Amino acid sequence: MKHGADAILRSEQASYLERLLPPRDPLRREMEQAAAERKLPISDPEVGRLLGMLARSIGARRILEVGTLIGYGTLCLARAAAEAKVLSIDADAEILAEASGYLERGGVIDRVELIHGEALAVLGGDSAIEGPFDLIYLDATKTEYRRYLDLVLPKLRVGGLVVVDNLLWGGKVATYADSDEDDETTEALQSFNGYFMIHPQLEAVVLPLGDGLGVATKTKPLILEMGGPY
């Protein structure tokens, strides 16, 4: 979730773009209000809209989400890709139960598998989730983004999409070098953004949407997928 309507763009343009967004259905509005009241960092409405567009446009059948929270992004993905199975990971059992309730009300719970556990352990353990996936959405602990990406890329099919939220971090990634702050999250995101953009298996872009959204397509398999290292 972005830190404010004008956290990235100038206020006039940001307000204009927010006004352009079509009204959400009552369930999504309820989830947005609940998140705002409790300061829960759910996906922004425009990010949810793009997630749905991407999932639908590639005909996604298997989707992986890292970071469920109350299930806002999960709902957008599952509704847009009507044939898809969505697996979503979160470490908070209580919040997963809340997400399950929203997803049931949204009519998609039968196509969603909510997985309780720390993302790094779930993705990389002995019983790790197996691919291939068509779309992977990362929106959990920001300092762990690089390790998430390394773990999920072998599970993403060539031509599939990886989407990463909060890459501009309220604009701080652009100004942090000139500040005296000691901010582990901002430093991690600065490092991740460079890694993401030059990754040899990805063609990537960072968009000033929401709090900064990274979108990449996997252009070729990793060496380990081809039986390496050689």
Give the tens place of pLDDT for each residue, 153-196. 999 999 999 999 999 998 889 886 655 556 899 999 999 999 99
Q: Which of 156, 159, 135 is nearest to 86 (CA)?
A: 135
Segments in the chain forming alpha helices (H): 11-20, 26-38, 45-57, 72-80, 93-105, 119-124, 145-152, 172-175, 184-198
The string of pLDDT tens digits covering residues 68-108 is 999 999 999 999 999 999 999 999 999 999 999 999 999 99
- Residue 127: partners with Cβ closer than 8 Å, 6 or more residues away: none
Buried/exposed code over 208-219 (b: 16+ C-beta within 10 A; e: otherwise): bbbbbbbbbbbe
Domains of the chain, residue spans: 11-219
Give the CATH architecture of domain 11-219: 3-Layer(aba) Sandwich (3.40)
Coil, strand or helix: which one is 112?
strand
Mean pLDDT score of the chain = 90
Nearest to residue 47, comparing CAs of 175, 203, 168, 199?
168
**Sole residue written with tokens 């990754």:** 199
